[in-house]
Amino acid sequence: MQVEGDRLTVTGTDLELTIRLTVDVGGERDGAAVVPARLVGDIVKALPAGAVSVELHDDEMSISAGRSQFSVRPLSLDDYPAQSEPAADAVTLPAAMVADALRQVVRAASTDDARAVLTGVLLAADDDGLRMVATDSYRLAVRDLPGTSVMASGQSVLIPGRALNELQRVMGDVEELSVRLGDREATFEAGGTRLSTRLIEGEFPNYRNLLPSSYPNLLTVGKAAMLEAIRRVKILAQDSTPVRLTLGGDTVQLTAITQDVGNAAEEIDASYDGVEMTVAFNPDYLAAGIDAIDSDDVTLATMDPMKPAVLRGVGRDDYLYLLMPVRVP
Amino acid sequence: MRLVIARCSVDYSGRLDAHLPEATRLIMVKADGCVAIHADGGAYKPLNWMNAPNTLVDNGDQWVVTNPKQETLTITLHEVLSDVSEELGDDPGLQKDGVEAHLQELLAASPHAIEVGLTLVRREYPTAIGPIDLVCRDESDTVVAVEVKRRGEIDGVEQLTRYIERLKLDSSLGDIRGVFVAQVVKPQAKVLAESRGFRWVEVDYDELRGMKPDELRLF
Could you give the angle at which helices B154-167 and B187-195 cross, rounded to 10 degrees?
Answer: 20
Last residue of some domain: A190, A209, A228? Answer: A209
Residue A120 lies in a domain: yes
Give the CATH number for residue A203: 3.10.150.10
Let me know whether A313 and A225 are in one domain: yes
Please indicate if any CB of chain A lies within 8 Å of the CB of B188. yes
How many angstroms separate the CA atoms of A90 and A182, rounded?
A: 10
Query: Are residues A137 and B217, on separate chains, in Cβ contact within 8 Å?
Result: yes
Digit-coded pLDDT (tens) for A178-212: 999 998 899 999 999 999 999 998 889 999 988 87
Number of C-beta neighbours around residue B137 at 10 A: 17
Last residue of some domain: A209, A234, A264? Answer: A209
Digit-coded pLDDT (tens) for A252-263: 999 999 877 899
Please indicate if any CB of chain B lies within 8 Å of the CB of A310. no
Let me know whether A99 and A203 are in one domain: yes
Distances (CA, A) of A23 to A66, A160, A259: 21, 26, 56
Residue A79 lies in a domain: no
Please indicate if any CB of chain B lies within 8 Å of the CB of A303. no
Query: Are residues B188 and A15, on separate chains, in Cβ contact within 8 Å?
Result: yes
How many angstroms separate the CA atoms of A141 and A101, rounded?
A: 10
Query: How many contiguous H segments (helices) and E segments (strands) does chain A have?
Result: 5, 23
Query: Are residues B218 and A210, on separate chains, in Cβ contact within 8 Å?
Result: yes
- Rounded to whole angstroms, the maximal C-alpha distance in chain B is 75
Nearest residue of chain A to residue B205 (CA atoms): A114
Give contacts of B 109-128 with A, CB under 8 A: none
Let me know whether A227 and A267 are in one domain: yes
Chain B residues touching residue A210 (CB < 8 angstroms): 218
Query: Are residues A113 and B188, on separate chains, in Cβ contact within 8 Å?
Result: no
Let me know whether A205 and A234 are in one domain: no
The pLDDT, as a whole number, for residue A138 is 93
How many angstroms separate the CA atoms of B180 and B157, rounded?
A: 7
Query: Are residues A137 and B202, on separate chains, in Cβ contact within 8 Å?
Result: no
With vertex at residue A93, the alpha carbon angle to CA A92 and CA A98, rounded to the nearest 5 degrees, is 145
Q: Report CA torsion sign: A25, A27, A30, A31.
A: negative
Ranges of chain A with pLDDT below 70: none
Distance from CA of A38 to the nearest CA of B (A): 24
Residue A127 lies in a domain: yes
The helix/strand/coil state of B182 is: strand
Let me know whether A200 and A126 are in one domain: yes
The pLDDT, as a whole number, for residue B171 is 84
Let me know whether A110 and A64 are in one domain: no
How many angstroms separate the CA atoms of A215 and A303, rounded?
A: 6
Cα–Cα nearest to A324, from A274, A286, A292: A286
Average pLDDT of adjacent 10-residue blocks, chain B of 219 residues: 95 86 94 91 84 88 91 94 90 66 88 90 90 93 94 93 92 91 91 94 80 68
Give the best residue of A136, A137, A142 to mutate against chain B (max B CB count within 10 A). A137
Please indicate if any CB of chain A lies within 8 Å of the CB of B212. no
Distance from CA of A40 to the nearest CA of B (A): 28
Q: Domains, chain B, ranges and CATH?
A: 2-85 (2.70.180.20), 100-215 (3.40.1350.10)
Query: Are residues A137 and B205, on separate chains, in Cβ contact within 8 Å?
Result: no
Please indicate if any CB of chain A lies within 8 Å of the CB of B202. yes
Query: Are residues A210 and B205, on separate chains, in Cβ contact within 8 Å?
Result: no
Please indicate if any CB of chain B lies within 8 Å of the CB of A114. yes
Give the best residue of B185, B212, B216 to mutate against chain A (max A CB count within 10 A). B216
Let me know whether A243 and A319 are in one domain: yes
Chain A residues touching residue B184 (CB < 8 angstroms): 113-114, 116
Let me know whether A36 and A127 are in one domain: no
Domain that holds residue A292: 212-323
Peptide bond into B53 cis (omega under 30): yes
Please indicate if any CB of chain A lies within 8 Å of the CB of B204. yes
Query: Are residues A210 and B187, on separate chains, in Cβ contact within 8 Å?
Result: no
Contact yes or no for B216/A326 (Cβ under 8 A): yes
Chain A residues touching residue B187 (CB < 8 angstroms): 15-16, 198, 201
Residue A251 lies in a domain: yes
Residue A77 lies in a domain: no
Beta-sheet strand order (sheet of B199-202):
B119-125, B132-137, B143-152, B176-185, B199-202
Contact yes or no for A297/A223 (Cβ under 8 A): yes
Q: Residue A76 has what DSSP assignment?
A: P
How many angstroms separate the CA atoms of B50 and B218, rounded?
A: 58
Q: Find the CB nearest A326 among B188, B190, B215.
A: B215
Q: What is the DSSP string of A219-263?
A: EEEEHHHHHHHHHHHGGG--TTPPEEEEEETTEEEEEEEETTTEE
If one counts the domains in chain A, the total is 3
Cα A20 from chain centroid (whole Å): 20
Query: Are residues A326 and B183, on separate chains, in Cβ contact within 8 Å?
Result: no
- Chains A and B form CB pairs within 8 A to the count of 43
Q: What is the ipTM of this complex?
A: 0.76
Please indicate if any CB of chain A lies within 8 Å of the CB of B219. yes
Residue A244 lies in a domain: yes
Residue A122 lies in a domain: yes
The torsion angles phi and psi of B129, rounded to 5 degrees, stand at -110, 15
Nearest residue of chain B to residue A206 (CA atoms): B219
Query: Are residues B218 and A140, on separate chains, in Cβ contact within 8 Å?
Result: yes
Please indicate if any CB of chain A lies within 8 Å of the CB of B184. yes
Query: Are residues B218 and A207, on separate chains, in Cβ contact within 8 Å?
Result: yes
Q: Find the CB nearest B216 among A201, A207, A325.
A: A325
Q: What is the DSSP string of B158-178?
A: HHHHHHHHHHTT-GGG-SEEE
The pLDDT, as a whole number, for residue B61 is 92
Please indicate if any CB of chain B lies within 8 Å of the CB of A17. no
Query: Are residues B219 and A306, on separate chains, in Cβ contact within 8 Å?
Result: no
Query: Are residues B218 and A306, on separate chains, in Cβ contact within 8 Å?
Result: no
Q: Residue A66 has what DSSP assignment?
A: T
Residue A328 lies in a domain: no
Please indicate if any CB of chain A lies within 8 Å of the CB of B194. no
Let me know whether A151 and A175 are in one domain: yes
**Predicted TM-score (pTM) above 0.80:** no
B168 by Cβ neighbours in 10 Å (0-12 / 13-18 / 19+) ranks as: middle
The torsion angles phi and psi of A295, rounded to 5 degrees, stand at -165, 150
Let me know whether A20 and A125 are in one domain: no
Query: Are residues B188 and A201, on separate chains, in Cβ contact within 8 Å?
Result: no
Please indicate if any CB of chain A lies within 8 Å of the CB of B99. no
